[in-house]
Amino acid sequence: MDSTFTSVQKALYNKAGIHLREDEKWPLLVQNIRPEELEGLSNGLDLGEDKWKKIYEILNISETYFYRDPNQLNAIVDFLLPQILRDKPKDSKLQVWSAGCSKGEEVYTLAVLLKLKLNELRRDVTLSVVGTDLQESSIEFARKGIYSTYSIRSNLSDRFLSFFKIDKEKVEVAADLRSMTHFFQRNLLEDPFGTYDLILCRNVLIYLGESAKKTILQHFSKALLPGGILVLGHSEYLGPVPDSLHHKNIPNQTSYFQKVVSLPKKEVDVLRPFSYALEKVEPDVLTVAPKSSEEPLSSLKQAREAKRDGKIEEAMSYYREALYENPETVEAYYELSNYYWENGDREKARSTQSQLFSLFKNDPSFAENLKGKDDWKEEYDEFLIHPL
């Protein structure tokens, strides 16, 4: 059985980038897929798309609902949308992609929030939100736009709810909202289609292997328009990112990646002094990643207190939250990497350290700025020199 599991694990990874764990979803596959089919898959046979669909459904562990994670969504709408719109002509199109959209609640939520904000800003922009998922059954469900009342778990405003028809038994997406959305079955390991101003991929990469994550990030970079923005789930990916993506953050709100705008050399030389002046006066205008705060973040304080009290798991949870609040928190990278290493997860330890290396590569002055602070430790110097 061990050899069968290993072969099936490899086949699933090659097909969809999904990292199958023996103690989690493997028992479900054994219970629901005939032994001869598993054996055939382990021997390199392709089961056909119908059987793959069934496997994806068995492995599906996503749970979504309307307006999930409001803090991150609000940051997207209030901070990132105006930034995206700044260089767009008045009569243009705002193109958004929700990758791994499951049954569509995130797609419809994005469409509502973005539409309301566009109205508030009085911007006459055509909005298109595309949702993709590996499972055809999820896409078919999303296209119908009919949900149980359980999908509404937050105190949503009347303006938000006006885009839905709600009764005691169901929630139905109104026609005007459906017209802004489009759903397709897609494998994120395949080449992307279309170009986008904004891509969301939340709670997807955490279930994939490192190689698949890197491939998918390359695809996202390819699909982003210049200056476009990629938003992942909280601390969902801590590995290296393509050179074309710069890691930035909105303190205490969310972090994100922005596609580098490539300019001809002569144009870059002309704009650089002006950009530097703007950065000094109005950093938000250029969305320059803010320098680390002089004061420790609240989650960082809690992490230190929990570690001091011997509550290691709780401390690591706070360190992960600290990276979400500010991806320049060297202490969090250091502590998490050591924690993963000591617990035998060498791949995750190296991935966490690599993310910190990427920060230094993107901004060579970053290290010197941090080393001048009182809370810098000698251990960090070793951590930055020697890969795990």
What percent of the chain is modeled with pLDDT above 70? 72
pLDDT of 280 above 60 = no
Q: 59: pLDDT confidence band, cut at 50, 70 and 90?
A: low
CA distance to 51, 94, 131, 210, per residue, from 134 (Å): 13, 24, 11, 18
* 114 and 249 housed in the same domain: yes
* 167 and 215 housed in the same domain: yes
* pLDDT at residue 229, as a whole number: 95
* 8 and 90 housed in the same domain: no
* 249 and 371 housed in the same domain: no
Mean pLDDT of the chain: 78
* 122 and 213 housed in the same domain: yes
Range of 252-261, 268-277, 362-371 with top mean pLDDT: 252-261
DSSP secondary structure string for all residues of 197-232: EEEEE-SSGGGB-HHHHHHHHHHHHHHEEEEEEEEE
Amino acid at 332: A
Separation between Cα atoms, residue 131 and residue 100, nearest integer Å? 7
* 139 and 218 housed in the same domain: yes
Domain that residue 312 falls in: 298-385
Q: Is residue 46 part of a domain?
A: yes
pLDDT digits (tens, 9 = 90+) for 139-170: 999 999 999 887 887 788 999 999 999 998 89
* pLDDT at residue 3, as a whole number: 72
* pLDDT at residue 276, as a whole number: 28
CATH number, domain with residue 248: 3.40.50.150
* 132 and 193 housed in the same domain: yes
* 85 and 110 housed in the same domain: yes
Q: Is residue 168 part of a domain?
A: yes
Total count of domains within the chain: 3
Structure-token match 């797609």, residue found: 107
* 36 and 81 housed in the same domain: no
Separation between Cα atoms, residue 139 and residue 179, nearest integer Å? 16
- Min mean pLDDT across 155-164, 231-240, 370-379 is at 370-379
* 85 and 134 housed in the same domain: yes
* 144 and 188 housed in the same domain: yes
* 241 and 334 housed in the same domain: no
Range of 19-28, 68-77, 113-122, 286-295 with top mean pLDDT: 113-122
- pTM, 2 dp: 0.59
Closest CA to 98 of 226, 207, 8, 233: 233
State residue 200 phi and psi, 5-degree precision: -115, 135
pLDDT of 120 above 90 = yes
pLDDT of 231 above 90 = yes
* Beta bridge mates, 256: 248
Which tokens in the block code for residue 257?
Answer: 């990646």
Q: Is residue 292 part of a domain?
A: no
Q: Is residue 324 part of a domain?
A: yes
